[in-house]
Amino acid sequence: MTSVEPLNIGREARLRKKWMQMWEELGQRILKFPKWMQDIVLEDINTAIRNRVATMEMIQNAKRRN
């Protein structure tokens, strides 16, 4: 089991780096908008991510039951 853990740590680090780069790029673009537009975009992103995560969790839970 311990041989798998370092692979997961490396994978998580790569995903975290990719995630942070993505948010940095998006953040630079979003900050160019007026405040009211920033609020709309951030709320849309929040809603989209929450919905996607909930959907993926339901799929994962359904697969576990089968």
Across the chain, which has 66 residues, the per-10-residue mean pLDDT values are 63 92 95 98 96 96 86
The predicted structure's pLDDT at residue 6: 62
Q: How many domains does the chain have?
A: 2
Q: 42 and 65 in one domain?
A: yes
| Nearest residue to 22 via CA among 49, 47, 53 | 49
Residues of the domain holding 57 = 34-66
Q: 38 and 21 in one domain?
A: no
Q: 42 and 23 in one domain?
A: no
**Residue 29, CA distances (Å) to 21, 22, 35, 49, 54 in order:** 13, 11, 12, 18, 27
Contact 58, 51 (CB under 8 A): no
The predicted structure's pLDDT at residue 2: 46
Q: 64 and 38 in one domain?
A: yes
Residue 39: count other Cβ atoms within 10 Å of its Cβ. Answer: 11
Contact 45, 53 (CB under 8 A): no
Q: 63 and 48 in one domain?
A: yes
